[in-house]
Amino acid sequence: MLVVGIEDGSFKKGITKKALLAVVLFKGLEIEDVKFAKIEVDGLDATEKTVKILNKWNFEAVMLAGVSFAGFNIIDPTILFKKFGKPVTIISRTKPDNKAVKHALHAHFRDWQTRWSVFEKLGPILKVKALAEENPLYIEILGTDIQWTKRLIKALTVCGRVPEPLRVARLIARGLS
């Protein structure tokens, strides 16, 4: 199965203008390809740059490490799903606190409603354990059901509790930042 993992690199708010976005294509448990984009910290270009990269690949599913990258540069998973017709899973290591997110957006962005609208379109936050001995992951899914998503996460999780496409995307993005 061809699965894309997307994660951002490190940045310093107020100092770094752009952050690295790593987009990794996995075939099973092997890296098939890696592409990068530089996205604006707290900008609005992450969705557009992700679509541009995904247009170059054939894939069967997308895994996002949340929806906020480079601060509050939002990747809209509904746009990815509509454009490519492939399931999108948003995976978080900790339970998302959308009340705190909304408060932060409202406090720091004039266009907070545009950014917040992405969060409002997402489904319920579900808990999934990839490995019995590990803490759960928190997921939101588009374009498929929980059973298919659980099987996918379990099949791609071999080192820790995070599926390889996201784990590797994080390592690459943080290593190059």
**Closest of 122, 14, 11, 145 to residue 75, by C-alpha:** 122
Instruction: Kindly report, residue by residue over 48-98, the tens digit of the pLDDT.
Output: 999 999 999 999 999 999 999 999 999 999 999 999 999 999 999 999 999
* Higher pLDDT, residue 104 or 160: 104
pLDDT surpasses 90 at 133: no
Determine how many CB atoms are found less than 10 A away from the CB of residue 35.
17
Return the pLDDT at 21. 97
* Higher pLDDT, residue 50 or 16: 50
- Residue 131: pLDDT band (50, 70, 90) is confident
- The tokens of 4 are what? 């894309």
Instruction: Kindly report, residue by residue over 94-115, the tens digit of the pLDDT.
Output: 999 999 999 999 999 999 999 9
- Cβ-in-10-Å burial (0-12, 13-18, 19+) of 162 comes to buried
Q: What is the mean pLDDT of residues 152-161?
A: 93
The residues spanned by each domain of the chain are 2-176
pLDDT surpasses 90 at 13: no
CATH no. for 2-176: 3.30.2170.10
